[in-house]
A and B are shown apart, each in its own frame.
Chain A
Amino acid sequence: MTDKNGFFDLSKTGLTRRTALKGLAAGAGLAVAPGFVRYSQAQSSAPIKIGFQSHRTGIGAAYGRWYERTTAAAVKAINEAGGINGRPVEVIIEDDGTDPGRGAEVVGKFATQHKTDIVYGTLFSHVVIGSAPAAGEAKMPYFVVSEGHHVASTKLNRYVFQPGITDVKSQIQAMAPWIAANAGKKVTQIFPDFAFGYDHRDYLPPALKAQGAEVIAQIAIPPTESSFTKYFPQIPAETEVIYHVMVGPAVLTFVKELGEFYGSSRPQLFGFIDSLEATDINSPGLEFLDGSHFWEGSPRYAQPVDSAAQKAYRAAVGIDDNGAAVGDPKDVSTAAHMFGCWETLYVVKKAMEDAGYKGPEDRAKLVEATEALTEFAEGPEHPQGPKTFNGKIHQCFGIQNISKVEGGRLNVVHKTKIEDGLYEPEGDYTTQAL
């Protein structure tokens, strides 16, 4: 394999001194262009810049799309009501590719190039864990909507917050009594083989044990797996409940193959809606799920008990009563998670106003103001429900929904209380230096 045509011979590509000089000149011109330095000093009327680390590509792309829509709706509402401290909010989006390495780069880019006030938005736990050190180094407040326990574990750093969505440990603890009482006592867990799955692996067994139930088998599946039947023989025959929480594009296959494997004589199923976010519950092959139960952060389908705030939120984001985009019933939302974007942005607004935030020099003040928050009342700013916030572990606590699949939709059958999900803090971020 010789390089006959010289494709790899750089001397033949025609990069002359003249071209090189032109390129340099263009680059220099760009750097002194007026737009480039416009906000180098914060001015009172300049927008507050929020760097949005979005899963535009990679396995989280469906979440990324809906996180962007929710963010756009929330920012529109905030700006129409006068912005934050009288300043408009501007969102700058960078794609992290649902990849931890790129996530960290994106945080660095926000800090040094875009010079955003904060960074916000990401979901996948491995991306959060990968990006947190970069945020800490840049002393950049980093508000995530991730659901994992990593923030509350106090293993990250003082700049990372999760004020808009509850964490897995709290969710599991709140729901375990219901599972043990209504679904069954012998539970087999199926979970993805990475950080988010490990939260489930580690916190479900003790939570169930406290209720007199037990986990009899734990099956970890690589997140890139595309076929699942081969794992099902590991499910013990005496299993009463299969507890499944899968993520990524193959989740539909997972449920379908489970259906083919068991047919109508299946154990009870309890799943995290993560297994089916952005997927139509009426897709072919999912009839098998009829009668099974799911955790939902916020209900996908409009419920009879929905508050006025919940209805207004759904209308603002643009989802119909079935949780799909208005005008496109096939474009199903990630409703169980994306409400967290809306609520997080309102927490940022509250904290910035409390701190009298003026610009990046006030970031430390913003961190302290966020840590001082204790409660978020249910309402237009927090449509999912009331929440409490623990400033020591940077984590909010709220209610969980357990929904049943019936008649081709998800109906909420049980709502937990905030107290059900509270646990002893594992550490204290406020002791770390700013």
Chain B
Amino acid sequence: MHFGPHLLLAALEGLVTSAVLALTALGLSLVFGVMRVVNVAHGEFFMLGAVLAWAISTAISGHPALGFLAALVLAPLIVGLIALVSERLVLRRLNYNPEATIVATIGMLYIIQQLALTFYGPEARPVEPPFSYRILLPWFGYSGYKLSIIAASALLLVATWFVLTRTRIGLVMRATQYDSETAQAFGIPVDRVYAGVFALGAMLAAVAAVLIVPISQAHYLMGQDPLLLSFIVVIIGGLGSLRGTVVAAVLIGLSDGIISVFFSPTLAKIIATLLVAMVLVFRPQGLFGTASR
């Protein structure tokens, strides 16, 4: 294959990765930014989204788009609910202590993963895409659905940005992120904001998973990679910075796509990790993060 089409394929693959990564990492970043909780179980919420998408879309007969749309709405809501319950039952009881919540979310990771293995099983199960249009380029074919993921993700990111910066809920969240004690003094129910943010973070991961599942099957171990990449993105972009997260996701996604097409996927991972190290050394707050006070 010639260089031009080869690069195009690499860029397309990279953009799909970026789109899903941006949503997942944004969830992680929000939870850290507002609650100062490092949610190690974030990848499992991603996995739950995909598994529920499978369950919902197989329960609904008729055109595959119906099942998929139902999954796109319901799966994140259910995952959000699960996150809400676990926040109430676990994180709140630990007073959001940073070290304790890391250990607790590691525990949640294993519990969710093994429950999925018990009730869903070890198979990788497919979800039919809502439409299966194949775009025929002169050099190779490409899935139309994959391109629609990029659009859907961009839409969701804009919506999240709108909620965070232009609504009252967003204002309350930003106030809590900036200084939770002062926010509380001004009558903001910090406790409820935490619960909501944790649920929202999980929902973003779940939405990303529903989008990706028609091209990459639901499997009970699928949460590991997104978790690792989300951490990389969040560290590079700056914890709690929406803009930084999106920029870092595109950067990591594209470089992963292009480097792994032209060189090797292992090199792509090496470079991403190196980038994290460089950022941590020279700009610990991340590219767009603000230095901690």
Q: Is the interface of A mostly helix, strand, loop or mixed?
A: loop
A252 and B99 contacting across the interface, CB-CB below 8 Å: no
Question: Bound complex: CA of A64 vs CA of B122, how far in Å?
Answer: 9
Residue in contact with B124 in the complex, picked from A3, A4, A263, A279, CB distance below 8 Å = A279
- 1/0 contact trace for B7-39 toward A, CB 8 Å? 001100100010000000000000000000000
B98 contacts chain A at the CB level, 8 A cutoff: yes
For the complex, is A269 an interface residue (Cβ under 8 Å from B)?
A: no
Q: Which of A57, A225, A279 interacts with B123 by CB under 8 Å?
A: A279
B141 in contact with A260 (CB, 8 Å): yes
B126 closest partner in A (C-beta): A283
* A260–B142 touching, CB < 8 Å: yes
Contact check, B10 vs A222: say whether CB atoms are below 8 A apart.
Answer: no
Does A86 sit within 8 A of B, measured CB to CB? no
Interface-facing stretch out of A115-123, A207-215, A227-235, A373-381 = A227-235
Q: Is B179 an interface residue (CB 8 A)?
A: no
Q: In the complex, what residues of A have CB within 8 A of residue B124's CB? A: 62, 249-252, 279
In B106-137, the 8 Å CB interface with A consists of 114, 117, 121-126, 128-129, 132, 134, 136
Closest A residue to B268 by beta carbon equals A230
In the complex, whether A1 has a CB less than 8 A from a CB of chain B is yes
B136 touches A263 (CB 8 A): yes
The closest CB in chain B to the CB of A65 belongs to B122
Residues in B neighbouring A284, C-beta threshold 8 A:
64, 126, 128-129, 132
Given A222-B265, A233-B261, A249-B219, A260:B143 Cβ within 8 A: yes
Q: What's the minimum C-beta distance from B233 to chain A, rounded to whole angstroms?
A: 17
Asked if B142 and A230 sit within 8 Å, CB to CB, the answer is no
B257 within 8 A of A: yes
Q: A65-B121, A263-B141 known; A226 and B225 CB under 8 Å?
A: yes
Q: Nearest chain A CB to B72's CB is how many angstroms away?
A: 17
In the complex, which residues of chain A have a beta carbon less than 8 angstroms from the beta carbon of B125? Answer: 330
Q: How far is the CA of A130 from the CA of B142 in the complex (A)?
A: 40
Whether the pair A253, B265 counts as a contact (CB closer than 8 A) is no
Q: How far is the CB of A212 from chain B (nearest CB, A)?
A: 28
Query: When the two chains form the complex, which single residue of A7, A249, A261 contacts B100, counting CB atoms closer than 8 Å?
Result: A7
Q: Could you tell me if B99 and A1 are in contact, using CB atoms closer than 8 angstroms?
A: yes
Residues facing B in A48-71 (CB within 8 A) are 57-59, 61-62, 64-65
- Which residues from A are CB-within-8-Å of B97? 3-5, 7
Residues of B within 8 A of A1 (CB): 98-99
**B216 close to A226 (CB less than 8 A):** yes
Contact B13 A249 (CB under 8 A): no
Query: Is B217 among interface residues, defined by CB-CB distance under 8 A?
Result: yes
Q: How many interface residues does A have (CB within 8 Å)?
A: 42
Q: Is the CB of A261 within 8 A of B140?
A: yes
- Count chain B CB atoms within 10 A of each CB in A62, A65, A229 and give the residue with the most: A229
What total of chain B residues lie within 8 Å of the partner, measured CB to CB?
44
- Are the CB atoms of A230 and B123 closer together than 8 Å? no
Q: In whole angstroms, what is the CA distance A5 to B94 when docked?
A: 8
| Chain B residue nearest to A61 in the complex (CB) | B122
Chain B 221-234, CB within 8 Å of chain A: the 1/0 string? 11001000000000
CB distance from B225 to the nearest CB of A (A): 6
Asked if A249 and B221 make an inter-chain contact with CB atoms under 8 angstroms apart, the answer reads yes
Residue of A nearest to B64 (CB): A284
For A3, give the chain B residue with the smallest CB separation. B99
**B260 contacts the other chain (Cβ, under 8 Å)?**
yes
Which of A62, A230, A285 interacts with B9 by CB under 8 Å? A230
A199-242 residues with Cβ-Cβ distance < 8 A to B are 222, 224-227, 229-230, 232-233, 237
Q: Is A311 an interface residue (CB 8 A)?
A: no
Using A256-B215, A278-B123 as known contacts, say yes or no to A249 and B94 having CB atoms under 8 A apart.
no
A194 at the interface (CB under 8 A from B): no
A225 to B265, CA, bound (A): 9
B residues 163-218 near A (Cβ < 8 Å) are 215-217
B263 CB, nearest partner CB in chain A, Å: 11
B95 closest partner in A (C-beta): A5
CB distance from B128 to the nearest CB of A (A): 4
Q: Considering the complex, give the chain B residue whose CB is closest to the CB of A260.
A: B143
Given contacts A4-B97, A222-B266, A260-B142, contact A229 B9 (CB under 8 A): yes
What residues on A are CB-neighbors of B134 within 8 Å?
260, 263
Say if the beta carbon of A36 comes within 8 Å of chain B: no
Determine if A262 is an interface residue (Cβ-Cβ < 8 Å).
yes
Q: Tell me if A8 counts as interface (CB < 8 A to partner B).
A: yes
Q: Are A230 and B265 in contact (CB under 8 A)?
A: yes
B63 at the interface (CB under 8 A from A): no
Q: How far is the CA of A64 from the CA of B123 in the complex (A)?
A: 11
How long is the Cα–Cα vector from A251 to B124 in the complex, in angstroms? 9
> How far apart sit A58 and B128, CA to CA, in the bound complex (Å)?
25
Complex A-B: 21 CB contacts under 8 Å: A7-B94, A57-B114, A59-B221, A61-B117, A61-B220, A64-B122, A225-B265, A227-B216, A230-B265, A233-B261, A237-B1, A249-B123, A252-B124, A252-B126, A253-B215, A256-B126, A260-B142, A263-B134, A285-B132, A330-B125, A332-B123
